[in-house]
C-alpha cells in the first residue's frame, strides 16, 4: 500500500507538470522528486518505519501538498513567476494536491503502517 501511495503522490505531481508546464516526463523537475520519494520510501522500509524516516517521508509529502499543490498556484508576490489563473491550471493543482492524500493518510493514521 505504501509503495502505491508514493506512486500516486508522484503521479499527481507529474500530471501537473505535464498539464501545466512544457516538461518532459524525464525532465529533472519530474525525475528529481521521484528519486527523493524513492529514497525516503527506501529509508522508511529499511528502517522498519523508524520515526526519523517516517518524518522525512511525511515532510516531503506535506511540502508537495502545501507548496506545490496549493500555494504555488496562488498569485503571491513571493514567487518569481506569475501563475496562470485558469480553470485548467487550478484543476492541475487540485490533481497534484489530492494525489498526496493517500500517502498522508497512511503516514498520519493512528498506529503503524504496514510495509506491504
Which of the pair, 111 or 75, is modelled with greater confidence? Answer: 75
pLDDT tens track for 22-48? 888 999 999 999 999 999 999 999 998
Note the pTM of the prediction, 2 decimals: 0.86
Burial 54-81, CB ≥16 within 10 A → b, else e:
bebbbebbeebbeebbeeebeeeeeeee
Give the pLDDT confidence score for residue 16 in this predicted structure: 93
pLDDT tens track for 66-91? 999 999 888 888 888 888 889 999 99
Confidence of residue 111 (pLDDT cuts 50, 70, 90): low
Confidence of residue 113 (pLDDT cuts 50, 70, 90): low
Burial class (CB in 10 A: 0-12, 13-18, 19+), 35: exposed
Q: Per-domain residue ranges for the chain?
A: 2-108
Amino acid at each position: 500500500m505504501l509503495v502505491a501511495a508514493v506512486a500516486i503522490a508522484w503521479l499527481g505531481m507529474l500530471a501537473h507538470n505535464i498539464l501545466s508546464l512544457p516538461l518532459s516526463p524525464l525532465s529533472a523537475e519530474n525525475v528529481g522528486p521521484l528519486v527523493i520519494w524513492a529514497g525516503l520510501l527506501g529509508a522508511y522500509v529499511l528502517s522498519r518505519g523508524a520515526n526519523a524516516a517516517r518524518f522525512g517521508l511525511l515532510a516531503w509529502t506535506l511540502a508537495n501538498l502545501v507548496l506545490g499543490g496549493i500555494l504555488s498556484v496562488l498569485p503571491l508576490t513571493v514567487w518569481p513567476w506569475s501563475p496562470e489563473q485558469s480553470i485548467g491550471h487550478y484543476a492541475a493543482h487540485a490533481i497534484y494536491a489530492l494525489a498526496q492524500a493517500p500517502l498522508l493518510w497512511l503516514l498520519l493514521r493512528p498506529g503503524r503502517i504496514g510495509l506491504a
